[in-house]
Amino acid sequence: MASTSTMAGNGFRNFAVSCAILCTALYLGDSMSLPIDRTSSPMLDAAAVAAGKITNVHSDHMFIAEYSHGEWRKARIQPYRPIPMAPFALGLHYAQIVFEGMKAYRQDDGGVAVFRTPRHHARFVRSCERMCMPAVPADLFADAVHTLVSVDAGWVPPGPDSAYYLRPFMIASEERMGLKVADEYLFMVLGGPFRPVFTKPLAIKVEREYVRAAAGGTGSAKCAGNYAAAMYPTQIAKDEGFDQILWTNAGSHELVEESGAMNVMFVIDGVVTTPPVTDTILDGVTRISVLQVCADLGIPTAERQIRVDDLVAGVASGSVSEAFGVGTAAAVAPIKTIGVDGARYDLPLAPGPIATQIRARLDAIRHGREHDAHGWMHHVPVASL
């Protein structure tokens, strides 16, 4: 017989799926053409964006929709501006907040395309389910992302190192004193030109004291609380001269899990090896894309547990020849140094040949230089330019 907790979990999962179907039906009943309120004071300096001189700032517009009474309503594109939020909004107190990180890329022919919208939407819905939040219909999610990119297409910089970063997120907006699952939410999408956060090979510290996630927790959800809880140990690592933490499993701290801003991969005896996705590891969109790129290139891969002790021994023996992080913000980020229990171990190559090959193939697909065999790119109209 199923446990009470399992039955409750299945009950909410069924509710979330039903909600997604209902919301999709309600949304599809309206026109798929979003109302667009264009800013009267554009900040766009197209020449500066094209020259890569503007980065990590918001673009002129944003998307917003409101959820109440069991449906999404008032979906629109409007000028970027602060939003009204009640001081007792539940999300501000109880962290019912989930988000995604996505990118749009300037194509070599001047067009613009968004990378893997359906995959990001699927993960967003899973995060919403885990945080007891209503699902965003796939059509609404895609329309919000693609329309915003189209309206602000002039903000999309050329590659290969730059892109237009997209931040879909949802927050519980219901005003109420006391803990409860909210009945009202805001779903928003923001964007702006962006450069990779890591510009040099990284030094990462294996974390043996603090924990990012434990089994049964929210580790596989892209929710705000996960990142807030990681800030203190990450700051300690930075004070010690590291760029990022390499998280290990709760309890024994013997198994590699993921890094602070990315999944991790190691080339072990020529095989690109990464920990399997569990409820303590984020199912990275870049991660699964890299594994597919490896298959396309004939590079062997393995998803298996990696022990910290074996990693150290492999670096010393040379069987571990490369290490790199993969993520939307990180892209493919080479790792040069791994710190373990006060000792530092250097890899021979950073970036190594396999990471370089993977990065080149991903860049070629994202910027339209190579055939998009898997249908990852969604091209948006740029007539507004």
pLDDT along the chain (385 residues), means of 10: 39 41 37 85 94 92 98 98 96 98 97 98 98 98 98 95 96 97 98 90 97 95 96 98 97 96 96 97 97 98 98 96 95 96 95 97 97 98 65
Would you state the pLDDT for residue 29? 34
For the chain, the domains span 4-194, 202-366
Would you state the pLDDT for residue 109? 95
Q: Given the DSSP bridges, would you call strands 102-106 and 163-172 parallel, antiparallel or unpaired?
A: antiparallel
Q: How far is CA 345 from the centre of its chain?
A: 29
Query: What CATH number does domain 202-366 carry, 3.30.70.360, 3.40.50.300, 1.10.10.60, 3.20.10.10?
Result: 3.20.10.10
Burial of 12 (0-12, 13-18, 19+ CB in 10 A): middle
Distance CA 12, CA 6 (A): 10
Count the neighbouring beta carbons within 10 Å of the beta carbon of residue 309. Answer: 10
- Torsion 312-340-281-350 (CA) sign: negative
Burial of 127 (0-12, 13-18, 19+ CB in 10 A): buried
Distance CA 277, CA 258 (A): 10
Q: List beta partners, residue 192.
A: 165
Q: Which DSSP string corresponds to 33-62? A: S--B---SS----HHHHHTT---SS--SEE
Would you state the pLDDT for residue 27? 40
Cβ-contact 272, 261 below 8 angstroms: no
Domain 4-194 has CATH 3.30.470.10: yes
